[in-house]
Amino acid sequence: MRQIYAYMDTIQIKDKTFAVSIREEDILKEVSRVAADINRDLAGKNPLFLSVLNGSFMFTADLMKRITIPCEISFVKLASYQGDASTGVVKEMIGLNEDITGRTVVIVEDIVDTGLTMQQLLESLHTRHPQEVHIATLLVKPDKLKVNLNIEYAAMKIPNDFIVGYGLDYDGFGRNYKDIYTVINQ
The residues carrying an active-site annotation are: 113
Stretch that binds ligand 5GP, among 11-19, 20-28, 37-45, 106-114 (CB under 6 A): 106-114
Beta bridge partners of 7: none
x/- contact string, 46-65, with ligand 5GP (CB under 6 A)? Answer: ---------x----------
Residue range at the interface with ligand 5GP (CB under 6 A); choices 21-29, 30-38, 107-115, 123-131: 107-115
Q: How far is the CB of 2 from ligand 5GP (least distance, A)?
A: 29
Footprint (CB under 6 A) of ligand 5GP, residues 164-183? 164, 168-170
116 binds ligand 5GP (CB under 6 A): yes
Query: How far is it, in rounded angstroms, from Cα 159 to Cα 150?
Result: 19
Is residue 110 part of the contact set for ligand 5GP (CB under 6 A)?
A: yes
Q: How far is the CB of 179 from ligand 5GP (least distance, A)?
A: 14
Q: DSSP string of the chain?
A: -HHHHHHHHEEEETTEEEEEEE-HHHHHHHHHHHHHHHHHHSTTS--EEEEEETTTHHHHHHHHTT--SS-EEEEEEEEEEE--TTT-EEEEEE---S--TT-EEEEEEEEESSSHHHHHHHHHHHTT--SEEEEEEEEE-GGG--S-----EEEEE--SS-EEBTTB-BTTB-TT-SSEEEES--
Q: Is 111 in the site for ligand 5GP (CB under 6 A)?
A: yes
**Shortest Å distance, C-beta 162 to ligand 5GP:** 4
Binding site for ligand 5GP (CB under 6 A): 55, 110-118, 162-164, 168-170
